[in-house]
Each structure stands twice: as structure tokens, then as C-alpha cells.
Amino acid sequence: METHLKMTVPRSRHAFLLLAMTAAFAVAGQAQNPLDETIPPGANFDKAAFRLWYPPDATRIQAVVVLVPGSNGDGRPEADDIFWRDFAARHQLALLGCQFTDKPHEQNFIEQYANVSLGSGQALLDALTALARRSGHAELAGAPLFLWGMSAGGEFNYEFVAWKPERVAAFVVNKGGIYFTALTSSAARSVPGLLFIGGKDLESRRNAITGLFSLNRRGAALWALTEEPGAAHIVGRSRDMAAMLFEDVLALRVDKSGLKALSGEGGFIGDRKTKAFRPAAGSTPQTESTVWLPTERIARAWQAIETEKPFDP
């Protein structure tokens, strides 16, 4: 006579197993953050590789901070940087660390991949589309971008704004030397930007960025030329000020409906000679002798950097 024993699992044990499985899936999902993505070589770049990180508890990503390093560098580890991760977590932002490299050519001080309209810019957008699908955050595919970069990274940022201004919430040009666009469109000039130069950097770099600023500022660009008098070709204090810019512009421009336009009559106007600033409303027409700053906090930081005084980010 065979006896069949039926094993029963108490409900409490069922609940325990369910919790354990949920935790295991959560850990597995968390292991996929950060995510890496690579785009095949294109017309103006040899390598395009990306790393996405986003706050694990984020329900909806508001925008993406794009981190582009210097010449042919690997910026993917910047998505692991505690400074940027803390910033992103506080504001429900994603980070995208980028690596672009040129195909071999004779004048390697000219980063061809910075000419984003020839393919490298689309590579970034294609990577975001792929990462949106893989991460489960579909909003990443069309999310507003905050562009941060150093040297060639700043060149890339400037050219990206010139190419796709409708995607950029704010951007930073940071002591780069080679640019492909002079006068940008009215839409690009309406994107808030900080253009940093170092007082001890190469004269050619200082002249290039100052020239771009002067030309576009005369066309009412919502930009600020910011000189760090004692800085050579380094990040200096530009990263801290850039984070402040992104934070303030996030509140001013980004909502679920997309990017809101800013008026030059808002914000503050800084005088490049006196380093004083005043509300933009009622000020004289914009010229290359002035800068535009979105908030009083950014205006005070600009003034502090220009006069080599400390500021509280």
C-alpha cells in the first residue's frame, strides 16, 4: 500500500519566499545600473561608448547630465563620480558618461568628433534611445540634456547646442580650442550657457572662446563668458558653477511638457569690465561687453570667479 504524502507550505513561508524572490530580482535589476552602450564607428568618429547611471529609486528621469571628457578621453567613469551621482540623485536626473575617439588623422589636436552634426551627435542620441529601452525609462529617449565637458568635451557641447538646441536645457564650454560653428541659430542662442576660459591657458583657446561668445552675445545669446584668472587648462571651479547652473535652470526650464523658453529680459546682466551685475529687466541692449546669467545665485558665483573670491556652491 502506497502512501502519498502531500507537502504543504505555511502561508507565512509563502510570503517569505515571495519577499526573497522580490529582493533577488531587485538586486538583479540594480546590477544593471549602470548600463554600458556602444555605437559602431561613424563618419567622424572611431569609437562612441557610453555609460548610463540613474538613481535606483527614480520613478521618472527629469533630464540627463551628459559628461564629455577631454581629447579622446574615456568619460564613462565620470558616471560613477560621487559628485555627479549625488547631484543626480537629489534631482532625479540620469548621468551619461561618454567616450569618443577620432579616426587616425594628421592634426590630432583637432577633434573631428566634436563636429557633432557629422555623426557623433546622432550616436549620442541613438545610445540614449537604446539605453531608454534597456533601463525601462522610456523618457530618456527624449529627455532634456545638460551638457558638461572639459576641453574637447566643451567643444562637443557647443557644437551639439548649435546642432540640436531643442534638446539642451543648458550647457558648458570649458577651455576648449577647436570649434566648427561661429554664429549659431537664434534657438541655440536661447539655450543658457557658461563659457569658461583660463587666464593662464593657451592664448589661442582664450581667443577662440572669447570670439564665439562675443559674436553670439551680440545676437542676444543667453550666455556668460567666465574667466578664471589663475587657471590654466584645468577644470578649476567650473564644475561647481556648472552644477549650480544646471540646478537653477532645471527649476526654470524643465517640466513634464518639455523645455520652457527663457527671456533675455529675465535673469541678470553682468558687466565684463566692472564685474558688477544688475537685473536684466530695463537694462541696456545686450552686447559682447556684458554677460547674461539666469539667477542671482549664478550671478554672484560668476562675480566671485571673475574676481578670484570664494563662493558657496
pLDDT tens readout for residues 36-52? 999 999 999 999 999 99
**Cα 229–chain centre separation:** 24
Q: Is the pLDDT of residue 2 over 90?
A: no
Confidence of residue 9 (pLDDT cuts 50, 70, 90): very low
- C-alpha pair distances (Å), 24 with each of 11, 17, 29, 30: 20, 10, 9, 10
- Report phi then psi at 278, rounded to 5: -150, 160
How do residues 197-229 score in pLDDT, each as one tens digit? Answer: 999 999 999 999 999 999 999 999 999 999 999
pLDDT value, residue 124: 98
Domain ranges of the chain: 33-260
| Cell (9 digits) for 309 | 573670491
- Kindly report which listed range (30-34, 35-39, 177-181) carries the lowest average pLDDT score: 30-34
Percent of the chain residues topping a pLDDT of 90: 84
Q: Is the pLDDT of residue 4 over 70?
A: no
Which pTM does this prediction carry?
0.89
Q: Give the mean model confidence (pLDDT) for residues 253-268.
A: 93
Q: Is 51 helix (H, G, I), strand (E, B) or coil?
A: strand
Q: What is the mean pLDDT of the chain?
A: 91
- Given the candidates 3.30.2230.10, 3.40.50.300, 3.40.50.1980, 3.40.50.1820, the CATH classification of the domain at 33-260 is 3.40.50.1820
pLDDT value, residue 285: 74
Partners of 66 in beta bridges: 96, 147
- Which residues, at least 6 apart from 181, have a Cβ–Cβ distance to it below 8 Å? 158, 159, 162
Q: Is the pLDDT of residue 18 over 50?
A: no
CA distance 84 to 312: 17
Q: Is the pLDDT of residue 135 over 60?
A: yes
Confidence of residue 26 (pLDDT cuts 50, 70, 90): very low
Q: Is the pLDDT of residue 299 over 80?
A: yes
| Cell (9 digits) for 67 | 559628461
Residue linked to cell 579622446: 72
Q: Is the pLDDT of residue 23 over 50?
A: no
pLDDT value, residue 81: 97
Q: Give the mean model confidence (pLDDT) for residues 144-152.
A: 97
Confidence of residue 166 (pLDDT cuts 50, 70, 90): very high
pLDDT value, residue 30: 45
pLDDT value, residue 21: 36
| Cell (9 digits) for 1 | 500500500
pLDDT value, residue 71: 97
- Kindly report which listed range (14-28, 42-56, 216-230, 269-283) carries the lowest average pLDDT score: 14-28
Q: Are 217 and 264 spatial neighbours (Cβ–Cβ below 8 Å)?
A: no
- Kindly report which listed range (146-150, 194-198, 216-220, 253-257) carries the lowest average pLDDT score: 253-257
CA distance 126 to 238: 29
